[in-house]
Amino acid sequence: MRMTADVVVIGGGVIGTATAFYLANAGRRVTLVERRGLAQEASGANVGLVTVFTIFELAPGPFFGLSRFSADSYLSLREQTGLDIEYQRCGGLVVAETEKELEVARRAYEGYAAHDVPVEWLDPKGVRACEPALVSDRILGGVFCPLQGFVNPMLATQALGLGARRHGATLLFGTSVHGIACDQGRVQMVQTSAGDIACEFVVNAAGAWSPEIGAMAGVKIPVFPARGQILLTEPVPRFMRSVVLGTEISATQTRRGNVLIGSTAESVGFDKRVTVETISHFARTILQYYPRLRNLQVIRTWAGLRPFTSDNYPIIQLMEEPKGFCLATGHGKRGMIQGPATGQLMAELITGKQPYMPLDPFSLRRFAGQRPDGVTTS
Ligand SMILES: Cc1cc2nc3c(=O)[nH]c(=O)nc-3n(C[C@H](O)[C@H](O)[C@H](O)COP(=O)(O)OP(=O)(O)OC[C@H]3O[C@@H](n4cnc5c(N)ncnc54)[C@H](O)[C@@H]3O)c2cc1C
């Protein structure tokens, strides 16, 4: 039997489910196709940090436009779906350990403060008062932002998928996409292991695998996998007040009390193995900051593949050729915090509405003349 949809979304990670959620909410007939299940790749393998303030942008820029929208969406997702995604807006610290890092943090603080983003500059004493469990003489200062927080990434992705289904979307699991048929410069149909789906639009939200899907429609997508490894401890009574980010550390304590420590960004292709070298490095490093973790039991380690672009911004675009082919990929280190905003923007593009923010920074065009890894070829 041939299936039909207005939009086929490929990928059941946070980007695909958010896209399905906002599109179904806007009244479109959506079918989401996922070869495994919801949140089985990067979207279920991450730390779930919801970082609105980051030194990646020294003042609110395109990333802030995405992250602010997403953080607010996570606040209302429970009401909209009935599922508790364990979103905690606990605030977060970005700490500096060298003079250079301090200068960058200071510039970012001034840039965000000038745009009325709530940020606070902290000296080493202020950092200690803010996060008493963090022990380090090396910390020279930092920035506290009360908008930082975290979600349970699996629950957030499931909530978006469930919300999409409640609005009428069809979710096909265990179903692989193996072809995209185009005619006269337009997408016509997605070929899957469960049969063909005729459609007007196809959204490529296949994360690190989005180049494979792009090739099916004749579109080169400069996204590459970067492995991230994570270590999880047993739950303990809450001792971390906020999310802490530094060059050497990224640590957070989940609502259940487990400590999540990570993470790397390694260029090892599609290799998802966890390595002794990295995990022992995490363990040694984290003890320098949180000696109280010394006797905690490590209960799990894992790795996931982030879909990276060379400039760390995603690709969010409706293609001219083939018409109806849409890109929602390349969210790199920050897909959880960019997911709901990307879904909203895809829905606006597909329903012909004015996007709520400018999309030029996310266009595929910016990579013209570059290899997928960002090296310029002309
Ligand atoms: C260790 C680690 C820590 C991270 N920490 C954070 C963090 O704290 N905060 C944050 O914001 N982000 C974080 N990230 C990044 C975030 O996880 C990713 O950016 C995000 O999950 C990408 O979502 P996605 O939906 O694009 O990709 P994915 O979640 O990988 O989903 C893509 C889906 O496409 C499916 N697919 C692929 N090919 C096909 C096909 N042919 N047919 C059907 N389905 C297909 C796959 O099965 C997969 O489920 C982290 C990532 C890692 C690995």
Q: Is the CB of 177 under 6 A from ligand 1?
A: yes
Distance from the CA of 34 to the center of ligand 1, in angstroms? 12
Place of tokens 């494979």: 212
Same domain, 269 and 335: no
The pLDDT value given to residue 372: 52
Q: What's 292's domain CATH number?
A: 3.30.9.10
Q: Ligand 1 test: best mutation among 331, 337, 338, 362, most atoms within 8 Å of CB? A: 331
Q: Per the domain annotation, does 304 fall within a domain? A: yes
Shortest-distance atom of ligand 1 to CA 303: 1
The pLDDT value given to residue 378: 39
DSSP state of 115: T
Residue closest via CA to ligand 1's atom 20 equals 335
Given phi > 0 = left and psi -120 to 50 = alpha, else beta, which region is 84? beta
Q: Per the domain annotation, does 250 fall within a domain? A: yes
Q: Is the CB of 335 under 6 A from ligand 1?
A: yes
Instruction: Give residues with Cβ within 8 angstroms of 364, minimum separation 6.
Output: 219, 221, 222, 315, 317, 319, 327
Q: Per the domain annotation, does 214 fall within a domain? A: yes
Same domain, 216 and 230: no
Q: Per the domain annotation, does 80 fall within a domain? A: no
Q: Is the CB of 41 under 6 A from ligand 1?
A: yes
Q: Is the CB of 74 under 6 A from ligand 1?
A: no
| Dist. CA 67–CA 46, nearest whole Å | 16
| Dist. CA 113–CA 144, nearest whole Å | 11
Q: Ligand 1 test: best mutation among 64, 88, 231, 306, most atoms within 8 Å of CB? A: 306
Residue where a domain terminates, one of 284, 308, 332: 308
The pLDDT value given to residue 377: 45
Distance from the CA of 331 to the center of ligand 1, in angstroms? 8
DSSP state of 82: S
Q: Is the CB of 47 under 6 A from ligand 1?
A: yes
Same domain, 219 and 269: no
Q: Is the CB of 176 under 6 A from ligand 1?
A: yes
| Dist. CA 229–CA 274, nearest whole Å | 6
Q: Is the CB of 206 under 6 A from ligand 1?
A: yes
Same domain, 254 and 295: yes
- DSSP letter string, 243-284: EEE-SS-EEEE-TTSPEEEE---B--TT-----HHHHHHHHH
- The one-letter code for the residue type at 358 is P
- Tokens at residue 260, please? 């999540």
- Tokens at residue 373, please? 């890894």
Same domain, 15 and 108: no
Q: Per the domain annotation, does 70 fall within a domain? A: no
Residue where a domain terminates, one of 308, 336, 356: 308
Same domain, 282 and 218: no
| Dist. CA 316–CA 309, nearest whole Å | 12
Q: What are phi and psi of 293, to 5 degrees?
A: -80, -5
Q: What are phi and psi of 52, to 5 degrees?
A: -80, -40
| Dist. CA 358–CA 65, nearest whole Å | 9
The pLDDT value given to residue 363: 97
Same domain, 105 and 132: yes
Q: Per the domain annotation, does 363 fall within a domain? A: yes
Shortest-distance atom of ligand 1 to CA 49: 8
77 and 85 Cβ atoms separated by less than 8 Å: yes
Q: How many domains does the chain have?
A: 2
Same domain, 199 and 304: no
Shortest-distance atom of ligand 1 to CA 15: 25
Judge residue 135's burial from the number of C-beta atoms within 10 Å of its C-beta, 0-12 exposed, 13-18 middle, 19 or more buried: middle
Q: Is the CB of 35 under 6 A from ligand 1?
A: yes
Same domain, 229 and 300: yes
In three state form, how does the secondary structure of 205-252 look?
A: CCHHHHHHHHHHCCCCCCCEEEEEEEEEECCCCCCCCCEEECCCCEEE
Q: Is the CB of 43 under 6 A from ligand 1?
A: yes
Q: Per the domain annotation, does 85 fall within a domain? A: no
Q: Is the CB of 227 under 6 A from ligand 1?
A: no
Same domain, 332 and 271: no
Same domain, 139 and 258: yes
CA 87 to chain centroid, in Å, comes to 15
Q: How far apart are the first and last CA of the chain?
A: 48
Q: What angle do CA 91, 97, 101 make, to 5 degrees?
A: 85
Strand order in the sheet with 170-172: 170-172, 30-33, 7-10, 201-204, 325-329, 315-318
Distance from the CA of 304 to the center of ligand 1, in angstroms? 8
Q: What's 17's domain CATH number?
A: 3.50.50.60
Tens digit of pLDDT at every position of the chain (378 positions): 679 999 999 999 999 999 999 999 999 999 999 999 999 999 999 999 999 999 999 999 999 999 999 999 999 998 899 999 999 999 999 999 999 999 999 999 999 999 999 999 999 999 999 999 998 788 999 999 999 999 999 999 999 999 999 999 999 999 999 999 999 999 999 999 999 999 999 999 999 999 999 999 999 999 999 999 999 999 999 999 999 988 777 889 999 999 999 888 999 999 999 999 999 998 888 898 999 999 999 999 999 999 999 999 999 999 999 999 999 999 999 999 999 999 999 999 999 999 999 999 999 999 987 655 555 443
The whole domain housing 260 covers: 90-146+225-308
Same domain, 135 and 252: yes
Q: Is the CB of 28 under 6 A from ligand 1?
A: no
Q: Per the domain annotation, does 316 fall within a domain? A: yes
